[in-house]
Structure 1
């Protein structure tokens, strides 16, 4: 816990907003602790799962309370899932204008509980190798001088299956040269990721860039692009199209980026859901996009635990 999450209190400190209060409680400052355990909308969620997740020692200071419950061998994962969904819900409200519906949030958490339960049933933990986890700070990394970076992302809404993709092209100074968003109708998340990558490469080629970094946060999509399977693969046509793009007379490096370093593309992919079917160019000077670009240029990073 580093108190670096962009709560409204933190956003006021960074001059990103003028109001540091919670959007629900109005007269109470929005801190990480407020979002996770003090907000009135949060209390109903914890109450719903109290028979499943018993929050220990609620009188402890927030950081100690978090650590003690996350380290609990019996319910630490379930506790963490609730915390993650509370923070995710808050971000969706703040960044995407999503309306908070407690019942919907509870259903999503229950669905993840079931996924976790099934995963435990299907895995023999005795054969799982021990891994060392390390905390790293993840943020945007600019391309080398003379190169541009194409960042793309895909998004699929549940349970409708409506898909979108988005991305942008940036130079070594973080300036946005082009941005796009696509409404894809219904397709899988992998297809959305591949479509976003394809459109990003097409725009980069059309603009005359010949030294390109392609960054996306889907290891599955990257594997398909680098190891294209036969044409009867369900993503065969998209994979073939991307292969043809990569084989043109230019230099393109394809690599993975953690989602914490891909916020601008994530915003554009989510924005695609609001558009009509097809690909749309996005104004590079739009306020919402510039907000994410500024975060990256300022060096804003987020902690992430990785296996080493």
Structure 2
């Protein structure tokens, strides 16, 4: 694609007119008299709206030098992927009945970046034991985590529910004040279990990266829980666990809990929030992509 651009071979209307393949060199999107390669990829208002937040320069007026600068740029992969989708955006507007919106194009750029990162991670994949794994059929897996700010005592809770195919079945983020790290971990577990119950899931494998929290629920008895600082949350969780369903709570390494951790980080940055994510938010797609390698 970039090779075609460097060699004036991308079939814009100007290139096609120069080769007697069409009568008009006008841009079909904005009516500019000359749809050159530089115009189609950068200067057309529709293209520029996609590129404006992507780190592109608009001062270089020679197409060859501009594309060469992108290839030699430290973020060449990101810029090249963005340009590819700008070109696809142009073709979509010209040749299909359902044109994309700018937000759709930007999401396609993000997804392609995720796919590229996943591919690179696969190439240098190390120990398979440090990979997230989906549950067996017909279980779902709940991953929870917390984020805690020492100075403000702000707590962020987050979690994701995925099925045996790795498909997203729901997620959550919440932010609140006045707590410590362990309380945030317990609240994340409570929130996640509540989401699973309300979602109708009755076979749940729950994973968190806090050994102290996981160990509290290996024994379901409440006899000595009143001695704990967070007795109120522990009691609520054990009452949840005692319902008519099957739940296992286990400890996992932090490096395979990145999806829940990212959702918790969003919560701690948005105090007062309480969001249920019916589909995965864009900021967690990279972590989901890495998990999908399993």
| TM-score, length-scaled by structure 1 | 0.52
Matching residue within 118, 124, 131 for 1:139: 131
Look up the match of 1:63: none
Look up the match of 2:155: 163
The answer to whether residue 251 in structure 2 is matched with residue 256 in structure 1 is: yes
- Looking at structure 1, the residues matched to 172 and 218 of structure 2 have their Cα atoms a distance apart, in angstroms, of 24
Matching residue within 242, 247, 252 for 1:247: 242
Gaps of 5+ in 1: 1-17, 20-25, 31-134, 300-308
Mapping for residues 1-308 of structure 1, pairs under 5 Å: 137-227=129-219, 229-299=224-294
- Looking at structure 2, the residues matched to 146 and 184 of structure 1 have their Cα atoms a distance apart, in angstroms, of 34
- Looking at structure 2, the residues matched to 250 and 236 of structure 1 have their Cα atoms a distance apart, in angstroms, of 23
* CA distances 1:127-155 after superposition (whole Å, capped 9, x unpaired): xxxxxxxx774110111110000100011
* CA distances 1:237-292 after superposition (whole Å, capped 9, x unpaired): 10000000001000001101111111100000101023241522125232222221
- Looking at structure 1, the residues matched to 248 and 282 of structure 2 have their Cα atoms a distance apart, in angstroms, of 30
Give the count of matched residue pairs.
Answer: 172
Bigger radius of gyration, 1 or 2?
A: 2
Partner secondary structure for residue 225 of structure 2:
coil
Q: 1:224: how far off?
A: 2.2
Q: Are 2:267 and 2:273, in contact at CA under 8 Å, matched by a contact in 1? A: no
| TM-score, length-scaled by structure 2 | 0.54
Partner secondary structure for residue 177 of structure 2:
strand
Q: Are 1:225 and 1:243, in contact at CA under 8 Å, matched by a contact in 2? A: yes
Gaps of 5+ in 2: 1-53, 56-71, 77-126
Q: Are 1:167 and 1:268, in contact at CA under 8 Å, matched by a contact in 2? A: yes
- Looking at structure 2, the residues matched to 161 and 145 of structure 1 have their Cα atoms a distance apart, in angstroms, of 39
* CA distances 1:170-192 after superposition (whole Å, capped 9, x unpaired): 00111111110010212111000
